[in-house]
Amino acid sequence: MRYIRAFRDGSAARGLAQALAQQVERQREYHLMEFCGGHTHAIFRYGVEDLLPANVRLVHGPGCPVCVLAIPRLDAVIELARQPGVTLVSYGDMLRVPGSRRRSLLKARARGADVRMVYSALEALEIAAAHPERQVVFFAIGFETTTPATAHLILEAQRRGLANLSVYCNHVLTPAAIQSILDSPEVREWGQIRVDGFIGPSHVSAVIGSRPYEFFAEEYQRPVVIAGFEPLDVLQAILMLVQQLNSGRACVENEFTRGVTREGNRKAQALVAEVFELRPSFEWRGLGELPYSGLRIKSAYADFDAERRFALQSQPVLENKACQCPAIIRGVKKPTDCALFAGPCTPHNPIGSCMVSAEGACAAYYKYRRGAVRAAG
């Protein structure tokens, strides 16, 4: 805690804010996307935006794993959970995410489905070992941070001969999402999104390293600064981005040197490469079908693939038109642009996925900005 406190120091934050105020060029605007929901949460929790000059704008990105899961895939797992003999295991946030027709895993559990919340993928192993008569399915979601743990789960299940365990794989890749934002800044129904630079996620980068972002910096001439999740990390990253933009540079810089290297965690990368392969295409909520943006289980581990074992199919669904999650995930709209925000839609009664997880932009706004929004109204 002492170690973390140094990265929340108020006087250091004011010093960084002063440095920013001195360095921004008055006549230009800086639109910086924090890719990850963890950064969005930190920005609101510590009031980082209040310290920024008016011409530095933060755009919230799609890096919330719960928010980007396509509803048809959620519907498929809710159906699976309702099958007799199936025990569905998942991280807590996923249980509350509304699928189509306001269904959720939590509601399925209330109706008798065996749905269990875990903090670690490996807990699924113990559940499967303790209940050999049941089919235990781990609902795997997340970016590169959580993928190695799922790979380890599958390898351990194989080693222990747990034939009743399988994984419904929904792991996605950060670079593909960044590329989609850069490739299609114009979305017909929402308009244009401007992103001059990216604050990169440190936990993802601890696994994949900083090297994968070099492509965006070079090809798209957008600077990237990888940052930790404390307020001083974020402020320092914003300052570094402003400095790059002022000097016309576009390269990858690493603010989070205490955890991220250029090469990343080779051991974790090897685990992922052993078990998973790229899907040719994967559907994201808000971003649509993105080529080579998701992972699936290799055929060598097909016995542990819930999609094959249960022949899971995703059916297209119509989204609730009033919910602006797809536009918010893309960074085109803010939660306060949604007519349902803080009215019908609250963390206790979420209508869209962005209101569920602490990393969702709507949940962050609701928790830390609701008062200010009301006062402004």
Which residues of the shown chain bind ligand SF4 in the complex (CB under 6 A)?
323-325, 328, 335, 338, 340-341, 345, 351-352, 354-355, 362
Q: Give the residue carrying structure tokens 């995703």.
A: 314
Cβ nearer to ligand SF4, comparing 287 with 354: 354
Q: How far is the CB of 189 from ligand SF4 (least distance, A)?
A: 14
Beta bridge partners of residue 283, listed in sequence order: 289
Closest to ligand SF4 by CB, 155 vs 373, is 373
Q: Is 197 helix (H, G, I), strand (E, B) or coil?
A: strand
Residue 351 C-beta: closest distance to ligand SF4, Å: 4
Q: Which is nearer to ligand SF4, 213 or 366 (CB)?
A: 366
Q: Min. distance of Cβ 318 from ligand SF4 in angstroms?
A: 15
Q: How far is the CB of 335 from ligand SF4 (least distance, A)?
A: 5
- Minimum CB distance to ligand SF4, residue 326 (Å): 9
Q: Give the shortest CB-97-to-ligand SF4 separation in angstroms.
A: 10
Cβ nearer to ligand SF4, comparing 118 with 317: 317
Q: Which is nearer to ligand SF4, 274 or 319 (CB)?
A: 319
Measured from each CB, the residue nearest to ligand SF4 is 352
Beta-carbon contacts of residue 215 (< 8 Å; ≥ 6 apart): 175
- Which residue stretches of the chain are H helix? 2-5, 10-23, 37-45, 71-81, 92-96, 105-110, 123-130, 147-160, 174-183, 202-208, 214-220, 231-246, 266-275, 306-309, 325-329, 361-376
**Sign of the dihedral through C-alpha 172, 256, 61, 246:** negative
**In the complex, what is the shortest distance from the CB of residue 58 to ligand SF4, in angstroms, rounded to a whole number?**
17
- Work out the angle at residue 231's Cα, subtended by the Cα atoms of residues 229 and 236, and round it to the nearest 5 degrees: 95
Q: Which residues of 150-180 are buried (b: 16+ CB within 10 A; e: fewer)?
A: bbbbbeebbeeebebbbbbbbbbbbbbbbbb
Distance (Å, rounded) from C-alpha 140 to C-alpha 229? 23
Nearest to 61 by CA among 140, 119, 143: 143
CB of 197 or CB of 352, closer to ligand SF4: 352
Q: For residues 82 and 334, which CB has a smaller minimum distance to ligand SF4 in the complex?
A: 334
